[in-house]
Amino acid sequence: MQIITTKQEILQQVEACKRQHKTIGLVPTMGALHQGHASLVQRAVAENDVVFVSVFVNPTQFNNKEDLEKYPRNLERDAKLLESIGAHFVFAPTPEEMYTAQEMNTTFQYDFDGLDKVMEGKMRPGHFNGVVQVVSRLFYLVQPTKAYFGEKDFQQLAIIHQMVERSALKDTFSDLQIIGCPIVRQADGLALSSRNERLSESEKKLATNIYKTLKSSMEWAKNATVKEVEQRVVDTINAIDGLEVEYYEIVDQTTLLPATDFSHAIGCVTVYSGPVRLIDNIKY
Ligand code: AMP
């Protein structure tokens, strides 16, 4: 496995792969890797000749300076994990390598057909512009056959699908297949997240109530309306000292618009444990 830090080297390696007609898998990450990321990389290794994993804490998608500064970073440990899984290239550029000063400070405006107006988009203005800025740049550089994203960031996955399949960029990425991968959880149900590293053991234990509540809501949904279930989830999590819900929205899995019933619906939650922001979801 080779660690690459410049765009020029990436382009050279990608060109060599293309010359040999190799299929390329790409897994974009922000590092501090765990078994959730590993599941994406394992699938990419199984389905492609060559796998590139990017490890880049993308400053343009953070709208909270403290979150960016405190985001865990450990390239050495990440590289060991990726090598053990069989990834071929790790792309770990600096922000300066990735962006010009102007690009770093410009607010990009992509049209997401409204998908960015709800949930994460509403709470984190500009977040998805930053995500698409970095993901589209990675797609241009790596020219993957398949790119892998987790369903844990369900809205992000919906927006990437939109970009590749329905936006003005769709012709550019017409050969690219986006693969959504299931959420990997601890045995106690807590969704794996790099941000969990910022929680103490007791906070982690409290945070297991997030998924427990989502699972209970599957039962509640049998005898209640969407609005009633949303409210009960919020009330149940907020009743736990140390957890505070930012939003719980039950939406259509494709449009992300508020669901009127539970068919094809997904519930997406964001919960604060102190300053740490945790997200999770459940399909009804
Ligand atoms: P991140 O490093 O948080 O930007 O995540 C990189 C990719 O890994 C994204 O596509 C995430 O959705 C995915 N991912 C993160 N956590 C998990 C998890 N617990 N299960 C599955 N995929 C995940």
Residue 87 pLDDT greater than 80, yes or no: yes
* Structure confidence by residue, pLDDT tens digits, 9-58: 999 999 999 999 999 999 999 999 999 999 999 999 999 999 999 999 99
Residue 169's pLDDT is: 83
* Structure confidence by residue, pLDDT tens digits, 174-202: 999 999 999 999 999 999 999 999 999 99
Q: Which residues are catalytic?
A: 37
Residue 118: closest CA among 267, 228, 276, 277: 267
117: CA distance to ligand 1 center in Å? 22
Atom of ligand 1 at shortest range from CA of 191? 19
Domain with CATH 3.30.1300.10 in the chain: 194-283
Residue for token pair 């550019």? 172
Domain with CATH 3.40.50.620 in the chain: 2-181
For domain 2-181, give the CATH superfamily.
HUPs (3.40.50.620)
Mean pLDDT of the chain: 96
Among residues of the chain, what percentage have pLDDT more than 70? 100
227: CA distance to ligand 1 center in Å? 29
Residue 211 pLDDT greater than 90, yes or no: yes
Ligand 1 proximal residues by C-beta, below 6 Å: 29-30, 36-37, 39-40, 149-150, 152-153, 181, 183-184, 191-194
CB count within 10 Å of CB 96 equals 9
150: CA distance to ligand 1 center in Å? 5
Residue 155's pLDDT is: 97
Atom of ligand 1 at shortest range from CA of 27? 7
Residue 166's pLDDT is: 87
* Structure confidence by residue, pLDDT tens digits, 120-144: 999 998 999 999 999 999 999 999 9
Alpha helices in the chain (DSSP H): 7-19, 35-47, 65-70, 75-85, 95-98, 101-105, 119-123, 127-142, 154-165, 201-220, 226-238
Distances (CA, A) of 69 to 62, 103, 170, 281: 10, 20, 34, 26
Confidence of residue 106 (pLDDT cuts 50, 70, 90): confident
pTM comes to 0.97
Fold classification of 194-283 is Pantoate--beta-alanine Ligase; Chain: A,domain 2 (3.30.1300)
